[in-house]
Amino acid sequence: MNNVMKHGSFGSWGDVVFKTLATPTSISDSRKFRVSPQSVIDGYPQHQISGEDERVISLSITLHNEFSDLAKVSQTLLAQSKPTASTMPFVLGNEIIAQDMRCRSIVKTLDEMTPQGVLIAVTYQLTLVDVR
């Protein structure tokens, strides 16, 4: 199987561009809204909408050293996750999904290494929060 021309830019979070064969492997975009029931005597509860809770985007990205500098991506992800870092847009394809995203958590899994111990592929699981 020839993988040379089967990759391209799929999206980005800030300065980290997802450019590989199988990334992101999954994306979840969830929003919650506050809807409180108000008890009614002898009837179905009335509901009061009091606004939106936070928006959370969870994604899993797999990066391979053939398409990415794994050390640079790791440093960039950590830099973008610091409390002093600016918010970053989250982009998929040509669409800006959310403008002001911050990182809540990063989980790093080492997927593949050479027999000499050189890292070849890594998967990051990111949880991003919209911080308008």
In the chain, what are the domain boundaries? Answer: 8-130
Q: Give the helix, strand, coil percentages of the chain, each rounded to 5.
A: 10, 60, 30
pLDDT, residue 107, reads 92
Cα–Cα distance for residue pair 38/56, rounded to 1 Å: 27
Please measure the distance between the N-terminal and C-terminal CA atoms of the chain and give it in whole angstroms.
Answer: 44
Work out the percent of the chain whose per-residue pLDDT is above 90.
Answer: 5
- Of the pLDDT bands very low, low, confident and very high (cuts 50, 70, 90), residue 124 is confident
| Lowest-pLDDT range of 9-18, 91-100, 105-114 | 9-18
- Cβ(104)–Cβ(30) below 8 Å: no
Mean pLDDT of 43-57: 83
Mean pLDDT of 52-67: 83
As a whole number, the mean pLDDT across the chain is: 80
Class of domain 8-130: mainly beta
Query: Over 80: is that where the pLDDT of 126 sits?
Result: yes
Q: Which residue has the higher pLDDT, 54 or 19?
A: 54
Mean pLDDT of 82-102: 85
